[in-house]
Structure 1
Amino acid sequence: MKQKLFYVLVAIASYFAGILAYLGYLALVYDQTLGSDSSKLIGWTLPSYLFLILPFYTLMFRWRKSAIFLRTALLIVLSIIAAASVTVMMGLGIWGIQNLFSPEFGLFILLFASSAIVFSVGSLIAIKEKGYLIFLLASLVIIYLPINMLVSEVEKSRPVIHHIPQSFHGTVVIHFGDSSSPPISKKKGYEVINIPENGIYKTSSPRPVRGIRHVLVDELGNEVKEISISGETMKYGSNPGVTISEYTVP
C-alpha cells in the first residue's frame, strides 16, 4: 500500500515538475507569461501525460534492475514523442523534423523531460527505500508552485465586471487610485465594480489592464443582461496617482 501511494505521489509530482519547468523557462528566458492560455496548458499536456507517458512510467516503476541513466534516457526519448503529440492536439499539424528547432516544441520537450527526471529520482528512492520524506517535502513545493502560478495567470486574464443599474443612462465616471476609497471588490474570482446611481465610482485600486464586461443589474444586484459599450476615455485626475475613466451608457 505504501509503495502504491508513493507511486501516485511520484506521478503527480513529475507532471507538475514539468509544468513548473515550462512556466519558469518562459518567464526567465522570454520574460513572458501564458496569460489567458494558462488553463489551456493543462488541456494540451495532461492527455499525453496520462495516456502516453504515465503507462510507460508505471512499467518503469516496476523495472528495478535497470540503471537510472538508462531509465532517464528512455524517458527523455519518450518526452520527445509526447511533445510531438501535444503539437498535434494544439492544431499545429503533424509533427515533422523541423519542429525540433522551434521554441514551442522545445518548451514541451523541456516539460516532459523535466517530468522524466523527477520520475527517475522518485524511482531511485523507491528502489533504495531511502529519502521518502525529502521527496515528499520537495513534491509539495513542486506541486504548489505551478498551481499557484497558473491560478494567478488565469485570474489576471479574467475581465473586470462593471455592474450598471439597468435604469441608468448617462456618463459613468470611475476614479482609480483614490487612496481615500476602498479597493475593487471581488466576487467568485472576478473584480466587480458596482456603479452607483449617480454614475460616479471611486476606488483605491489601480485601473485594471484586462478587458471589461458591462452588465446591467436590477435593484437587487442580479445580472439582467450584458451590453456592449465603446468609446471609453482616460485622463489623469487632479490628485497624483488618480486616473479617471469615462464612458457613456445609452
Structure 2
Amino acid sequence: MNLGLIFLSELVGTAMLIILGGGVVANVALTKTKGFNGGTLMVNFGWGLAVFAGVTVSYSSGGQLNPAVSIAQLILGNITFVAFLVYVAAQMVGAIIGAVIVWLAYKNHFDEEPDPAAKLGVFSTGPAIRNYGWNIVTEIIGTFVLVFVVIAFTNGQTPAELGAIPVAFLVIAIGASLGGPTGYAINPARDLGPRIAHAFLPIKGKGSSDWSYAWVPVVGPLIGGSIAALLSLALLPVVA
C-alpha cells in the first residue's frame, strides 16, 4: 500500500469534490450569479456530479473522499489504522484547498453578497431548525444510508469504472430525501475543511464560522459510517 499515492489521490479527489460541490452552492446562493436562486434540486444534482468527478479522479486510492467511508473501511478490516489517518488527513487538506478555489472563482460575488449566512453556506452546512440532538440524528441516518449502500454495491463487485456512477445517484437521492433538516453534510471533511477555510480567508463581511455547530457534521457522519459498517457484517452478503 503506497501511502504517498493514497494521500495525493485522496487530496486531488476531495479538492475536486469541493470545487464542484461548493461551487454549485455558491452559484445558487450568492448574489448576481447566473445560477442565483436555482433551488435545492440544482444543489443536489451538483453535489451528486461533484462526487462522480471526485471519485473518478481519485481511482488510485479507491475514491473514499470521506472520513465516514474511511472509518467504515477500517472497521471492515480493509485498511490499516495508519492508512485511515492518511486518508483522513488527505481528505481534510483537499477539502480546504477546494474551498479556497471556490472562493477564488466567486470572489466578486462574495464581495457583493450582503448576507453572511449565505457566504458561510457555500463552505459548510447548517440546520434549518437548530436542535443539536435531532440534527445529529439526521446526519447519522443520512451517512448510514450512504455508507451502507456503498458497502453493498462494493461487495457486489461493481466494476471499478462504474463505481462513481451509483455513488453520484445515491448522493442525489440522499440530498433530495434527507437533506432538508441539516443540508446533509454526510462527510466530516466536506464540512470541517471548508469551514476552516471560511475562518481564515479574507472574505468581506463573512461573519461567524458557526463553530458551535461544527461538531455535528463531524460526529454524526462518523457514527453513521461506523453503524453502517457494523450492520453490513450481519445484513449484507459478501461476495468472495
Structure 2 length normalisation: TM-score? 0.30
Q: Which has the higher helix share?
A: 2
Higher relative contact order (CA 8 A, sep 6+): 2
Return the index of the structure with the highest Cα Rg.
1
Q: Which has the higher strand share?
A: 1
